[in-house]
Every structure is written in C-alpha cells, then in structure tokens.
Amino acid sequence: MKIEATPDFSFLTMLANASFIVQLVMLLLLVASFMSWLFIFQKMFALRVAIKQADEFEKEFWGGADLNHIFQNLTSGRLTPRGMEKIFEAGFREYAKLKKQSGLDISSVMDGTRRAMRAAYQREVDALERKLAFLATVGSVSPYVGLFGTVWGIMNSFRGLANVGQATLAHVAPGIAEALIATAMGLFAAIPAVIAYNRYTHDIDRLAIRYESFMEEFSNILQRQAR
C-alpha cells in the first residue's frame, strides 16, 4: 500500500520553500511593516505630547498670566518650547525686538511679528508631519509589491508543471499557497499604515488650526498693546 505524504502548509515551511524573488519581496514587506509600526508609535506619542502641551499653554495663556512672565518661563532653559509655546516665543521675541527700534510704525512691527510666528508655525507643523509620507507610501505601494511576489510565485509554480506528466492540485497548491503569502503580507503592511496616516493627518490638521487661531488672537493682543 502506497502512502502519500501530506504537504506541509505551515507558515514557516511555505516561507522556506518560496522562490528567492518571493522571499525577497516578503523580506521587503516585513521591513516596511516593522518601520511603519515604529513610526506609528512614535507619531502617536509625539501627537499626544503636542496636544497636551497646547492644552496646558492655552490654559496658562488665557488664565490671565503676564506675557513677559510666560516668555521668561519659556526662555529660562528649564523646558524646551514646542508647538504653541514655540510660536508664542518667536512672536513675542520679534515683537519686543521691533518695538525697541525707533521709526517703525505699528503695522511694520506686527508684520514682522506675524512673519516670525508663521515661520515657527511652519517648522512645528513640518515636524509633526515628518514620516507621514513614509506611511502613505507603504500604504499605497505594499499591496502591489505583495501582488508582484504572488504573480512571480504562481508563474514559477506553473513552470514546474511543465516537467510533470499529469498535473494535479497537489502539485500546484503548495506553490500557489507560498505565493499568496506575499499578498497577505502586503495587506498586513498596508492596512495599519493607511489607517494611521488618515488618523494622524486628521489630528495634525486640527492641531494646525489651533495654532493658526492662536496666532491670530495673539496678534490682536499684541496690536492692542502696541497702540
């Protein structure tokens, strides 16, 4: 009686038996997935800190604290100003410097102050958006990379049938199963990256609106003081 061995369809076995190109695709997707998760957690903590700092600064700013006192606290070196604090520091520093210059009218002082705040705002938003492009790339490209690995693996499986007199499902199934892992890994890398990208983009947009609103309100306060 002839006993046929049952093909081993375990995940590790299929990875080991895959062709070199498919293995290379899987390795690339694994690295992309690892980097995506690393950036996802980094961005999550960075946004939490930025939102918390904005909340605390707005509470202090609108709590009636003296502007000079807030500026001195930020520039004392005990803390590193970030986000809204950095925008305030840049604006108030430029305002104080321009006010000391003789011959400048209010509009010139305020224009310089707004430019300083706008530059600080752009740097802070750019820092928040850093590495989001990588998540967007992984989310859009990974499924196609996985699909390429799958197509290549299936092509190799059918090439192997050329040397088989009578092709059965048992001959084709292992190769196709190995190839489909690449597509699964592509989706595994892409889905979290897309979800994180959309979520963080939304959070950064909301935080940027808060920064812009603060710049306008702070500009109005300084303009009233200048008069």
Q: Considering the domain boundaries, does residue 1 fall inside one? A: no
Q: Considering the domain boundaries, does residue 160 fall inside one? A: yes
The identity of residue 58, as a single letter, is E
- Burial readout 205-218 (b: 16 or more C-beta within 10 A, e: otherwise): eebbebbeebbeeb
Q: Considering the domain boundaries, does residue 203 fall inside one? A: yes
pLDDT of residue 161: 64
Please answer whether residues 120 and 86 qualify as being in contact, where contact means their C-beta atoms are separated by less than 8 angstroms: yes
Q: Considering the domain boundaries, does residue 152 fall inside one? A: yes
Q: Considering the domain boundaries, does residue 185 fall inside one? A: yes
pLDDT tens-digit readout, 154-173 = 777 777 666 655 656 555 66
Identify the DSSP state of 208.
H
Q: How many domains does the chain have?
A: 1
d(Cα 190, Cα 204) in Å, to the nearest integer?
21
d(Cα 209, Cα 215) in Å, to the nearest integer?
10
pLDDT tens-digit readout, 108-151 = 888 999 999 999 999 999 999 999 999 999 999 999 998 888 88
Lowest-confidence range among 62-76, 127-141, 182-196? 62-76
Q: Which domain holds residue 203?
A: 19-226
pLDDT of residue 71: 87
Lowest-confidence range among 31-40, 68-77, 117-126, 187-196? 68-77
Q: Considering the domain boundaries, does residue 105 fall inside one? A: yes
Q: In the block, which residue shows the tokens 């605390």? A: 56
Q: Considering the domain boundaries, does residue 9 fall inside one? A: no
Question: If you average pLDDT over every residue of the chain, what do you get?
Answer: 83
For the chain, give the percent of residues with pLDDT over 70. Answer: 81
Asked if residue 51 has pLDDT above 50, the reply is: yes
103: left (phi over 0), alpha (psi -120 to 50) or beta: left
Mean pLDDT across the stretch 32-52?
Answer: 94
Q: Considering the domain boundaries, does residue 10 fall inside one? A: no
pLDDT of residue 8: 52
pLDDT of residue 104: 72
Class of residue 73 by CB neighbours under 10 A (exposed 0-12, middle 13-18, buried 19+): middle
Looking at the chain, the number of H-run helices and the number of E-run strands are: 7, 0
Neighbours of 8 (CB within 10 A): 11
